[in-house]
């Protein structure tokens, strides 16, 4: 059994990005610039955005953090999005989610110029991804693809079961695992709360990608000997022994599942560190105008 080390892989990739950025700058090119809009003071969002800014520094990117109180109106936020769309110095930007309830999230996402949508949430990027065209792929699915590729995990012709059908993980993951290239070419089954034979489906899977947000959901009896298990769960469970007051819990009962696996990604330290790294890869692509002129 091999543990998939997302933390080490993410660090390696950030180094590779930093080296490429220095080469671009040395040749007179522009340093990639990522902007992030953060509305309000949600603890999780504060941490994510702080880590994104730190990752930009590690990669040699320019970053801008634009903060608003949660009293900002939808019109004001849309005006800022328009300003960033039109700012030639900004290569890509994100609006950290969730947004306060009085703001229509989808409207904001669709207001972002898809050519700067490094989150890959705009319907144009989602659509282009689903038909295999060059585009920004959202962070979590892209991070998982990178891990599968870096660990040389075979996906062609394999049976892949995805637990969860969210717009940001389950659905894009299914689309990517069935795409006509590596990592992909898998036979994909998506299971969710209405799937009657979920356990049986899992037992037949060569690859399980668990993204349902239910701690310890995947147990040893659901996993075939030699399977690859990717844990996307990040539920915060109270833990008085931690300074933060919580710890992250995955969707997989790691201790009993791991011995049956050929590869398994842990929580924390598996998929999590890869997500910000994927955003950095998209920002580099944005800086290079790799997908869109």
Token code pair at residue 133: 């065209």
Say which of 5, 14, 80, 96 is annotated catalytic.
Answer: 96
Determine whether 224 is an active site residue: no
The smaller minimum CB distance to ligand GUN, of residues 9 and 155, is found at 9
The smaller minimum CB distance to ligand GUN, of residues 119 and 231, is found at 119
* φ, ψ dihedrals at 124, nearest 5°: -65, -40
- How many beta carbons lie within 10 A of that of residue 288, not counting itself? 15
The smaller minimum CB distance to ligand GUN, of residues 29 and 123, is found at 123
Q: Are 235 and 100 in contact (CB under 8 A)?
A: no
Distance CA(137)–CA(50), nearest Å, equals 22
Say which of 52, 80, 171, 281 is annotated catalytic.
Answer: 52
Please, what is the minimum distance in Å from the beta carbon of residue 262 to ligand GUN? 29
Pure H helices in 27-161: 43-59, 74-86, 105-111, 123-130, 139-150
Say which of 5, 91, 117, 119 is annotated catalytic.
Answer: 119
- Contact residues toward ligand GUN (CB under 6 A) are 48, 94-97, 119, 139
The smaller minimum CB distance to ligand GUN, of residues 40 and 258, is found at 40
The smaller minimum CB distance to ligand GUN, of residues 94 and 163, is found at 94
Please, what is the minimum distance in Å from the beta carbon of residue 159 to ligand GUN? 28
Please, what is the minimum distance in Å from the beta carbon of residue 169 to ligand GUN? 10
54 Cβ contact list (under 8 Å, min separation 6) = none
Q: Are 233 and 252 in contact (CB under 8 A)?
A: yes
- Calculate ∠ Cα 133-138-143, nearest 5°: 105
Q: Are 84 and 78 in contact (CB under 8 A)?
A: no
Distance CA(113)–CA(74), nearest Å, equals 17
* φ, ψ dihedrals at 13, nearest 5°: -65, -40
Distance CA(199)–CA(191), nearest Å, equals 9
Please, what is the minimum distance in Å from the beta carbon of residue 228 to ligand GUN? 24
Please, what is the minimum distance in Å from the beta carbon of residue 48 to ligand GUN? 6
Determine whether 52 is an active site residue: yes
| Catalytic sites, residue numbers | 52, 96, 119
């Amino acid at each position: 059994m091999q543990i998939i080390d997302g933390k080490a892989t993410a660090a390696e990739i950030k180094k590779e990005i930093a080296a490429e950025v220095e080469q671009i700058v040395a040749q007179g090119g522009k340093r990639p610039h990522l902007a992030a809009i953060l509305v309000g003071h949600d603890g999780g969002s504060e941490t994510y955005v702080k880590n994104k800014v730190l990752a930009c520094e590690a990669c040699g990117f320019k970053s801008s953090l634009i903060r608003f109180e949660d009293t900002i109106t939808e019109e004001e936020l849309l005006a800022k999005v328009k300003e960033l769309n039109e700012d030639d110095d900004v290569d890509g930007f994100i609006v950290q989610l969730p947004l306060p309830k009085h703001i229509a999230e989808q409207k904001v996402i669709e207001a972002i110029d898809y050519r700067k949508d490094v989150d890959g949430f705009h319907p144009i990027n989602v659509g282009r991804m689903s038909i295999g065209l060059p585009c920004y792929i959202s962070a979590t699915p892209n991070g998982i693809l990178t891990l599968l590729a870096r660990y040389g995990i075979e996906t062609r012709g394999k049976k892949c079961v995805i637990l969860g059908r969210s717009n940001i993980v389950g659905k894009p993951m299914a689309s990517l695992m069935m795409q006509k290239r590596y990592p992909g070419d898998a036979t994909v089954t998506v299971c969710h709360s209405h799937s009657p034979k979920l356990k049986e489906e899992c037992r037949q899977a060569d690859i399980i990608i668990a993204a349902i947000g239910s701690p310890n959901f995947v147990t040893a009896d659901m996993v075939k000997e030699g399977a690859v298990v990717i844990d996307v769960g990040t539920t915060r469970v109270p833990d008085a022994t931690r300074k933060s007051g919580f710890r992250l819990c995955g969707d997989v009962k790691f201790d009993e599942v791991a011995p049956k696996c050929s590869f398994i990604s842990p929580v924390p330290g598996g998929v999590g560190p890869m997500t910000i790294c994927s955003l950095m890869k998209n920002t580099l692509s944005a800086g290079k105008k790799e997908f869109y002129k």
